[in-house]
Structure 1
Amino acid sequence: MTEQPSETDPQTAIDSVAGNRDDRVYEYSAGDEQEGIPFVGAGPGNPRLLTVAGRELLADADLVVHAGSLVNSELLDEYCADAETVSSIGKDLEELIPLMRDVYEAGDTVVRLHSGDPAIYGAALEQMDALEHEGVPTYIVPGVTSAFAASATMRTQLTLNEVANHVAFTRPQGKTLDEDEDHISEFVGMGDVTTCIYLGTHAVSETMDRLLEDGHDPETPVAAIYHASWPDEDVIEGTIATIGEKLEDAGYRASAMVVIGDAVGGEDYERSFLYGDWANRGSSDETQEADD
């Protein structure tokens, strides 16, 4: 497989689509069969959490460019046995775009496999724009993001009546996020928000220290789910005051979903209206007629 240099700079491709709404937005829905290279969400880890659409696309693929160790090797073994697999780890856009373009233009079927869901910290759109700029159509196939796998593992909901009305997907300050762009403290301070922290396992202690400095309740529940849905999944429960030390003692520096808020414990919520008065709102008149 010979790789040719990209004809255009990826940043040029990204800039060229600004403000232009693609007509395919109005022609296709998520899950529809489309032409081009699909950007498939592999899910959080367990191969059974791959979508049906994703499984079908992998079964027909000649080349699967995947997110390295972020995708469970069991999934690759089970669904990509007949395809050439290439890890994207260590490759930049200038290498990835020509690789996928050339294979696709040669008539082979290409799948770009991202971990979780491509829409959440997936860096998918810049690849798609670069491919589109070179005449290769692309589209997204959703996947299960790790926050949902963590919620399932914890046997709770991210939203709970009278406990959490909102969910925030976020990440902590660091090399790619400035201090003034870190809003974790604001989300936690709202009280009825379940805050899901991606890409922050290495910085949990520092993040919790900042929350304490900002005056947040040290007893606020926190759970860190390492490798949610993988065979080596581990659940570490604590509070804002204790989770940092617990996670450090466990030795995890990556790949944990950190969830903050009262919904973590699934406690003290109120019965919803859905299966209460609202469920019976159309039956009272019918019951009265039957009694008459």
Structure 2
Amino acid sequence: MTDGATGPGPDGSTDSRAAADGVGDRSGSELDPRVREHTAGEEQDGIPFIGAGPGDPGLLTVRGKELVDEADLVVHAGSLVSSALLEEHCADAELVNSVGKDLEELIPLMRDAHESGRTVVRLHSGDPAVYGAALEQIDALEREGVPAYIVPGVTSSFAAAATLRTQLTLNGVANHVAFTRPRGKTLDAEDDHVAEFVEMGDVTTCIYLGTHAVSDTMDRLLDRDGVDPDTPVAVVYHASWDDEDVITGTVADIGEKVEAAGYRASAMVLIGEAATGAGYDRSYLYGDWANGGTADAANGESNDARDAAEPTETEADD
């Protein structure tokens, strides 16, 4: 579509490679002024980086749908975005698969289309903020003088929890959630903290990009004295897609089950008791203090005293 020639960016650069090479150079000392000018749900100037959700077109957000429906050019994440979504919302748009393209190809492609007056959308799977590599593209575009912004989406761990009819946090079971990935070419062994999360006990560990490594990950967990081999594990393949599949087991046996199913990609791995949805305690949110204080009143405690002692409704979100 383009020959890679560039227009001048804010720093006068006309080299797309320079824009790509400069990603990650933003200053962390001051917030971008746009942070205070817009909310996450507002349409803004420039190219939106939209979270397509986990797969089902019905889980694309309202704002995402509006923007995709208006697009002339949709640069999408290949097979990670369901073909049903593309067919439903992008029938009149030019579609470009970003798989196999580097920044030096993608940035001029999107920049030139935007500068020619076309409505451009960058469509990521799930939510761009979770293992999306969106920020480096946004920074490169903005070095080329093209504004961009993020439109949130539903990440696959949330869809997996919905499929399992559970929560990632459960009162008395899991007070913490860890989003992580297994060691590999982009994560060194010393930066792999899956075992530490699982050893904590009250953490739901959500492993992204790790279907191919389920057996290896579980073997490493079994080598740790602090990990119970009977810790529940659920593997949800293609969460919310038509061919969704659920495999359940434990740290001790889930690797063998996933190998037997033949899945090597596109599954969410949830480790922890919350994966079963069992054994949780009743939350404070629906206790007496939040519903008239009948038990407190019987004990002679005033509502004012109760309100001062107990968390607000937003704090009691378990």
Q: What TM-score, normalized to structure 1?
A: 0.95
Residue 220 of structure 1 corresponds to: 231
Q: Which residue, out of 248, 253, 257, partners 1:246?
A: 257
Q: How does 1:33-182 map to 2 (within 5 A)?
A: 33-182=43-192
User: Which SS does the other structure have where 2:249 is aligned?
Assistant: strand
Aligned residue type for 1:29: T
Aligned residue type for 1:2: T
Q: Which residue, out of 274, 277, 287, partners 1:276?
A: 287
Residue 22 of structure 2 corresponds to: 13
User: Which SS does the other structure have where 1:32 is aligned?
Assistant: coil
Aligned residue type for 1:225: V
C-alpha deviation, 1:99, in angstroms: 0.1
How many matched pairs?
Answer: 287
Cα distance per residue 1:62-85 (max 9 Å; x no partner)? 000000000000000000011000
User: Which SS does the other structure have where 1:54 is aligned?
Assistant: helix
Cα distance per residue 1:154-208 (max 9 Å; x no partner)? 0000000000000000001111100000000000011000000000110100100
Paired residues of 1:131 and 1:137 also in contact (CA < 8 A): yes
Residue 189 of structure 1 corresponds to: 199
- CA–CA distance in 1 between the matches of 2:238 and 2:24? 35
Aligned residue type for 2:265: A
Over aligned residues, Cα RMSD in angstroms?
1.5
Cα distance per residue 1:200-244 (max 9 Å; x no partner)? 110100100000101211110000000000000000000000000
Identify if the C-alpha distance between structure 1 residues 15 and 251 changes in structure 2 by more than 3 Å, giving closer, same or farther. Answer: closer
Aligned residue type for 1:18: S
- CA–CA distance in 2 between the matches of 1:33 and 1:205? 43
- CA–CA distance in 2 between the matches of 1:130 and 1:278? 51
What 5-or-longer segments of structure 2 have no aligned partner?
7-14, 301-318
- CA–CA distance in 2 between the matches of 1:256 and 1:15? 29
- CA–CA distance in 1 between the matches of 2:64 and 2:209? 24
Residue 209 of structure 1 corresponds to: 219
- CA–CA distance in 2 between the matches of 1:106 and 1:282? 63
Paired residues of 1:3 and 1:102 also in contact (CA < 8 A): no
Residue 4 of structure 1 corresponds to: 4
What 5-or-longer segments of structure 1 have no aligned partner?
none
Cα distance per residue 1:112-153 (max 9 Å; x no partner)? 000000000000000000000111000000000000000000
Paired residues of 1:171 and 1:197 also in contact (CA < 8 A): yes
Q: What TM-score, normalized to structure 2?
A: 0.87
- CA–CA distance in 1 between the matches of 2:21 and 2:262? 42
Cα distance per residue 1:10-39 (max 9 Å; x no partner)? 444324423252110010011101110000
State the percentage of identical aligned residues.
Answer: 70
- CA–CA distance in 1 between the matches of 2:20 and 2:127? 23
